[in-house]
Amino acid sequence: MVLAGEVVRFWAAGYIRKCVAIATSGPFGSIRNPLYVGSFLITLGYCVMANSIVVLAAAMLAFCVFHGAAIFYEERYLTRLFGNQFIDYCKSVPRLFPRWPRGGGEEQYSFRCALENREHISAIFAGIVALAFALKIALK
């Protein structure tokens, strides 16, 4: 799940041109917040590795509060920045549950853009956390 989440995040990050344009291609053609979907998968993966219902409950609560607030803030910011263009995008693309298949914009994926969006840092961190869980299990 952690690997799948990182793949989703890296895929999405390759389309984001922060404060320049609304990402509408790739995963953004089907869902407005694919980075958060990737983060959700990563969080679930950590919870599975922790093997604790308490950790799962706490992580899901924290995830919903933190990411819900982030979505609220980002949507207000993007509405101020892009106006009706973003409002129209919101009307045609769902926030968290994708509509498949769906067309998108004309943007092309850019690995360089994903790196500029610092997604490699998230991937390195996820790898370190997954490795820590693996070591903990191996040393039991």
SS (H, E, C) the chain: CHHHHHHHHHHHHCCCCCCCCCCCCHHHHCCCCHHHHHHHHHHHHHHHHHCCHHHHHHHHHHHHHHHHHHHHHHHHHHHHHHCHHHHHHHHHCCCCCCCCCCCCCCCCCCHHHHHHCCHHHHHHHHHHHHHHHHHHHHCC
The total of structural domains in the chain comes to 1
Q: How confident is the model at residue 28 (pLDDT cuts 50, 70, 90)?
A: very high
- Average pLDDT rounded to a whole number, residues 29-51: 93
Instruction: Specify the pTM.
Output: 0.84
Place 102 in a pLDDT band, splitting at 50, 70 and 90: low
Across residues 11-16, what is the average pLDDT? 93
Average pLDDT over residues 25-47: 93
In the predicted model, is pLDDT for residue 101 greater than 70? no
Give percent above pLDDT 70 in the chain: 96
Q: Lowest mean pLDDT of 1-5, 49-53, 78-82, 107-111, name the range.
A: 107-111
Q: What is the mean pLDDT of the chain?
A: 90
Confidence (pLDDT) at 136: 80
- pLDDT score of 131: 87
Residue 106 has pLDDT above 70, yes or no: yes
